[in-house]
Amino acid sequence: MIMTMSVEDIIPPSNDKWHAHAAKRFASPFTGQRFDRIDVDAMMLSHAAVISGYTINDFYTKPELGAACVANASEMYDLIPMTHWYFSLPWVAEMGAEVEFQPLLPPVVKKPNITDLEMVDKLEVPDLKEMENGFTGQLMTRAQDYIQKATPDKFVPMTYTSDLTGGGAQLCGIENFIMWTMTERDAAHKLTEKFTEVAVNGAELMAKRYGSAFISTGSVLANNDIFSDTDVEELSAKYLRKFVDRSLRKGAGPQVLYHLCGNHETDYKVFKDRLVFTPFTIMHAGYMGREVFPSDVLIKEFGGIATIMGSVDTKIMILPNPKRVYEQAKEQLLRGRDSKNGYILGTACELPPDSYPANVFALVQAARDYGTYGSW
């Protein structure tokens, strides 16, 4: 029988020397300095729980435990020294959708709450108090309160809304939403607009509670596998601009991460003139077609206005071949390490829960070997 540990037992005694070093590395792209090497963000969530002896369900239903696992695993792997916890369906429960936790997978919407067009107009946006006491608000504040208390040196308050378009789509069902973009365009826009309002309220909530809030957002559903470049601009990019602009005005930021998930083969260009960029912005894209997005292409478009986060194919992280991970990371590092506003090595999307630890170590080793600053 496998014995599990309490939350207090998850985090080993703080390694102050490691954290001081890692914090300087993490800050260097945003301060115009180059410390020792390029940092690595494996976009790790429930993988941290799995390698700590817990389940995916534990990670999402026990946010304090999940955050503790991330803190422990980040130090073990030598990743960015920022402890976080979140899930892919923030704020949809506050809008009326029923979210269900699963034994072996992340949470899902069990049943959409918008079943006809009339319900779109009647949908109300919850206020800050309702959101604070709601499903997402309680989970997120539990995690961040815990991080702030248990590992204050790794605490970066965060507001997380992974996908405004996708968030609106979850309320009526993904298939219905995609159909509405062709047959009932106004309804699709209204849902996305209302979800954007909720996301802004969420950012304000976190900023008021913690004094600031790293804005993590992006475009997931709206990508070239489903939509044209024009559709991506209209259904995603313009709402991202509204969300970030209004969130900054509510006290969130100044850090912003844009995660373009999935295939953004040609639509990536529409984001440059649409998005809001602060001096602390990270730009990340997962794939160009079926291949990982080339770092040099992302740098050409965004390197002058943002720190670039490069991608290693998420799918290969679950294969027993750390050399393949190392070689792909090396290729991306060689393409991206000289970016004007700094470069971070990452995975194309969330690190799969069942990724091999050897693959994560290979990712970091590549950064040590090919991400150092100076002459090569």
Query: What are the tens digits of pLDDT across the range 170-195?
Result: 999 999 999 999 999 999 999 999 99
- Side chain identity at residue 298, one-letter code: L
Specify the pLDDT at position 327.
98
Q: What is the pLDDT of residues 281-321, one digit of tens each?
A: 999 999 999 999 999 999 999 999 999 999 999 999 999 99
Those residues with Cβ within 8 angstroms of residue 223's Cβ, 6 or more apart along the chain or in another chain: 232, 260, 261, 262, 263, 264, 267
Confidence of residue 30 (pLDDT cuts 50, 70, 90): confident
Give residue 291's identity as a one-letter amino acid code.
E
Answer whether residue 164 is part of any domain: yes
27 within domain boundaries: no
Cα–Cα dist 177/200, whole Å: 22
At residue 78, the pLDDT reads 97
Task: Give the residue ranges of DSSP H helices in the chain.
Answer: 7-10, 16-27, 46-50, 56-61, 63-77, 117-122, 128-132, 135-150, 164-172, 174-183, 185-210, 229-232, 238-249, 295-302, 322-336, 357-370
Mean pLDDT in residue range 214-224: 98
Give yes or no for a contact between 270 and 233, defined as CB atoms under 8 angstroms apart. yes
**pLDDT number for residue 1:** 36
Q: What is the pLDDT, as a whole number, of residue 107?
A: 94
Are the beta carbons of 146 and 67 closer than 8 angstroms?
yes
Evaluate whether residue 242 is within a structural domain.
yes
Pairwise CA distance, residues 193 & 182, whole Å:
17
- In the chain, the number of structural domains is 1
pLDDT band at 16; cut points 50, 70, 90: confident
| 148: pLDDT strictly greater than 80 | yes
The answer as to whether 217 is a domain residue is yes
| Number of residues that make up the chain | 376
| pLDDT classification of 9: cutoffs 50, 70, 90 | low
Please indicate, yes or no, if residue 200 is contained in any of the structural domains.
yes
Place of tokens 């609106």: 168
Percent of the chain with pLDDT over 70: 95
Q: For 256-284, how does the pLDDT look when each residue is reduced to its tens digit (9 = 90+)?
A: 999 999 999 999 999 999 999 999 999 99
Enclosing domain of residue 95:
89-370
99: domain CATH number is 3.20.20.210
Cα separation, 295 vs 337, whole angstroms: 9
End-to-end CA distance of the chain: 50
Give me the phi and psi of 14, to 5 degrees please: -60, 130
Res 162: pLDDT:
86
Q: What are the structure tokens assigned to 73, written together?
A: 């695993």
Instruction: Find tokens 């219905």 and name the residue.
Output: 176
| Mean of pLDDT over the chain | 94
Question: Is 4 within the bounds of a domain?
Answer: no
Let me know if residue 33 belongs to a domain: no
CA distance 309 to 198: 27
Pick from 140, 174, 143, 179: nearest CA to 160: 140
Q: Pairing state of beta strands 214-219 and 158-161?
A: parallel
Q: Is the pLDDT of residue 199 over 90?
A: yes
Taking Cα atoms as reference points, which of 306, 307, 295, 287 lies closest to residue 26?
307
CB atoms within 10 A of CB 183: 8
In a domain, 143, yes or no: yes
pLDDT for 256: 98
Q: What is the pLDDT of residue 10?
A: 60
Cα distance between residue 196 and residue 353, in whole Å:
29
